[in-house]
Chains A and B, each alone.
Chain A
Amino acid sequence: MADSALLREDKVRASLCKLYEACGYRAFRMRKFEEYSLYLENQSFLTSKYAITFNDLDGRLLALKPDVTLSIVKHSKADEKVTEKLYYAESVYRVDKRTREYKEIHQVGLELLGRVDDVSLMEVASLALRSLEEMDSHYVMEFSHMGFLSGVLESIGVDSEARRKELLECMGAKNSADLELIAKAAGVSDNDIESLAALTKYCTDYREALANAKALAVTKELEQQINDLENLMTYLDKAGFAEHIMIDFSIVSDLDYYNGIIFRGYIPKVKHQYVLSGGRYDKLANKFHPHIGALGFAIYVSELAYPKNENADVDVILLYSDADDPALVDRYAWKLRKEGLCVRTEREVPEGITYNLVKRMEDSDA
């Protein structure tokens, strides 16, 4: 049976939505357009500063949404006592940084707003892992902690924000050569430089990565942050995800919004980027609701369109002529389709369509 990108995306989207509904998450549907100002004021949360804008009849400047999380947070009724669990399957409109063109991207995502505790963190992380499993049995999810990263840079004496940004960029690229040069210039000790470089080393065993991180946990806050990360990894390990989880501090997100655990998911079929991205983004949520925790992730379902379709376009080409009764052609075609075959009716075998078999009306019992 043909496996078009459209069907693949739809299948994954449906299975993900079913998964989230099974955990009591409610669907969030965006029917209206947000004002452009919402995105403008939170530019660094978005992956690109561009948005498609238009004026409504009242003259307000609206935008085709580049993001769903901002809307969910803005309209949330969550507080310290009330937790909202929402999922969405929406299109977002972003600029592709390579082609410099606007693209429609299909995103499926999940947000938990309100009271975030160890159980909710475990729930969201394991839902992210289960979501990856829906897409490919070979998947990997990496974890990092933005608060810990930024705290470490501060504690080893990197005072300038520009230097910290440069170091985070080096860590993001696992570029230990330039990391050493910049850290040395910033006056960081050789010991600390070595420990910093070790944070982005390849570690399939999350325990080894945690041990490397503990070497830099010199304050109570840093210790607590590593403990939080360790607890989560332990829970996920116990839940059976051990071979799919890794710690890698080369995942870097914007510090203005992400202050805690962050994660990214990868599948081997999609080679040009991660398919899932998420984490704790209390800092963003607190701009709208001061005392809540916020946790979530987004999945880029459009990326699943790219793997090659190995199957033929159709299973059967059913040939008919003017002498055939249309009702009988229709009956035979549906008889074959009920057997699970993809049947395309044609007068002649078409060019440009791959198929497995050709049948004629003479082959039918009718």
Chain B
Amino acid sequence: MLNVALPKGRLGDKVYKMLESIGYACPEILEDTRKLIFESPENKVRYFLVKPSDVAIYVEHGAADIGVCGKDILLESGADVYELLDLGFGKCRMAVAAMNGFREDYTRPLKVATKFPNIAKQHYMSQNREIEIIKLYGSIELAPILELSDVIVDIVETGKTLVENGLCVKETIVPISARLIANKTAYKFHGDEINKIVNELKNT
């Protein structure tokens, strides 16, 4: 039985369709239901619908053998998992953004508002820049507008949200995309099956 952690939402739907096409169908998952676990004994697969930021935790602890989550979550959580495949979708970037015309004052620490404090710390540490982190959970773009912070570190897709709020990208930190991850122990004992999935997904 293969245990798969799927992120709730568009990404999870897309990944399910891909897995369905390589033999891991579980039609129950497409029904309108509040269930969180779906099992197909014929196809020997079990899916869990999980909050996107929790996928890596389920996989790391072995509650799921494999899962899909964004590179942003992997970098932020530092989860100890195998990152077997860049699925090539959910593409965006982690970037530093600030108000148009923002001028940095290097004589004091930079105030950084972000949902990703670890990524932000790592980035500025590599530049030897002292920062103060303000951890927020959503609508991060508000922070520099209200002078809560100087800059933000956040995911940027098209950049439309930034532009509409008078912000612009100052720096790209790292490109982000959806990754297939695997539990390390599960890989030792079910490596053949997991590897087969990786290869077949590469070809779809």
Instruction: List chain A positions with a Cβ less than 8 A from chain B.
Output: 138, 140, 142, 173-175, 177-178, 202, 204, 246, 250, 266-268, 270-274
Contact = CB atoms under 8 A, between A and B. Distances in A.
B189 to A, nearest CB: 5
Given A174-B84, A177-B86, A202 B185 contact: no
A283 to B, nearest CB: 24
B61 interface: yes
Interface residues of B, number: 23
Contacts, number: 52
> Could you tell me the dominant secondary structure of chain A's interface residues?
loop
Given A173-B81, A174-B83, A202 B183 contact: no
A109 B83 CA distance: 31
Contact of A271 (B82, B86, B185): B185
A36 to B, nearest CB: 26
Nearest to B85: A177
Contacts of A142: 188
13 contacts: A174-B83, A175-B83, A175-B84, A177-B85, A177-B86, A178-B83, A204-B191, A204-B192, A266-B184, A266-B185, A268-B185, A271-B186, A273-B184
Contacts of B179: 177
Nearest to B65: A271
B192 to A, nearest CB: 7
A272 B61 contact: yes
**What 5 pairs between A and B have smallest CB-CB spacing?**
A271-B62, A177-B86, A175-B83, A202-B191, A174-B82
Contact of A274 (B82, B185, B191, B192): B185
Contacts of B161: none
A92 to B, nearest CB: 19
B38 interface: no
B131 to A, nearest CB: 20
Contacts of A266: 184-185, 188-189
B188 A140 contact: yes
Nearest to B81: A173
Interface in B150-187: 179, 183-187
B60 interface: yes
| Best-buried of A174, A204, A268 by chain B (most CB within 10 Å) | A174
B195 interface: yes
A347 B80 CA distance: 50
A3 B80 CA distance: 30
Contact of A202 (B63, B85, B86, B192): B192
Given A140-B188, A202-B195, A271 B85 contact: no
